[in-house]
Amino acid sequence: MGWPWNSHEAKGLGARRVIVTEVNPVRALEAVFDGFEVMPMSEAAEVGDIFITATGDINAITLDHILKMRDGAVLANAGHFNVEIDVAGLERVAAEKRRIRDYVVEYRLPNGKRVYLLAEGRLVNLVAAEGHPSEVMDMSFSNQALAVEYIVRNRGKLQLGVHKLPDELDMEVARLKLETMGIRIDQLTEEQRRYITSWGLGT
């Protein structure tokens, strides 16, 4: 045993690290350039204190990963469905299970370690808190209201398929949001507008 800060545990505790796991090489590269560590989940599982899934896919954290985790690891999901953490696998192998707090369940694993699952692996922000703050839902739901109006105004005319809301409505939401925040922006001059919409003007 050396000084605590030389030990493996102290290194883990002392270092504030954010690790990102990805399957998409472009996103992984972005994460690296944004200043985060990137590694496979099988390695991250061994070192993390808090795990948060946001993949939109199933089994981002498998039972194998969970069995590798440190004692006391916290598991939370931010993705839409409760499929990202293998909760069923965890339930199956757990030697013991108890609810510690409203949204925290402790599982004792066969290897003696304990992990803490938040909000049953469902959307932690909506289950344990109140979802997104109103200011941001202001924009999302303004888009919803305008989308419903757009559907009703254009009934029978929209092509079958999945469409984006027209850009001018999207921009209108941003314009109104800025206005309500008291923030003003520049307008293109006539000269600038002509320059940026023409292809004939070069060097």
Partner 1 sequence: MAYKVKDVSLAEKGRLLIDWAERHMPVLMKIRERFIKDKPLEGVKISASLHVTKETAVLVRTLVAGGATVTLVPSNPLSTQDEVAAALAEEGVHVYAWKGMNEREYYNAIGFAISQEPVVTMDDGADLTVTLHKLALGVKSSETNYALETAGDRDFAKLISGVYGGTEETTTGVIRLRAMAKEGTLRYPIIAVNDSYTKYLFDNRYGTGQSTWDGILRATNILVAGKIVVVAGYGWVGRGIAMRLRALVHVG
Q: Which residues inside 81-120 make contact with partner 1, applying CB under 8 A?
A: 81, 84, 101-104, 116, 118-120
- Distance separating alpha carbons of residues 50 and 70, to the nearest angstrom: 10
Residue 45 makes contact with partner 1 by CB under 8 A: yes
- Distance separating alpha carbons of residues 197 and 159, to the nearest angstrom: 29
Considering only the stretches 1-9, 90-98, 158-166, 190-198, report the one whose residues sit in contact with partner 1 under the rule CB under 8 A.
Answer: 158-166
> How near is the Cβ of 113 to partner 1 at its closest, in Å?
16
Residue 71 makes contact with partner 1 by CB under 8 A: no
- Nearer Cβ to partner 1, position 167 or 191? 167
- Of 85, 123, 125, 87, whose CA–CA distance to 107 is shortest? 87
> How near is the Cβ of 147 to partner 1 at its closest, in Å?
4
Angle (deg, nearest 10), helices 134-153 and 167-180: 140
- Distance separating alpha carbons of residues 199 and 180, to the nearest angstrom: 36
Contacts of 196 (CB under 8 A, 6+ apart): 188
Q: Which of 9, 80, 91, 195 binds partner 1 (CB under 8 A)?
A: 80
Residue 183 makes contact with partner 1 by CB under 8 A: no
Considering only the stretches 43-51, 106-114, 184-192, 193-201, report the one whose residues sit in contact with partner 1 under the rule CB under 8 A.
Answer: 43-51
Considering only the stretches 15-23, 86-94, 106-114, 189-197, report the one whose residues sit in contact with partner 1 under the rule CB under 8 A.
Answer: 15-23
SS3 per residue for 110-131? CCCCEEEEEHHHCEHHHHCCCC
Count interface residues toward partner 1 (CB under 8 A). Answer: 98
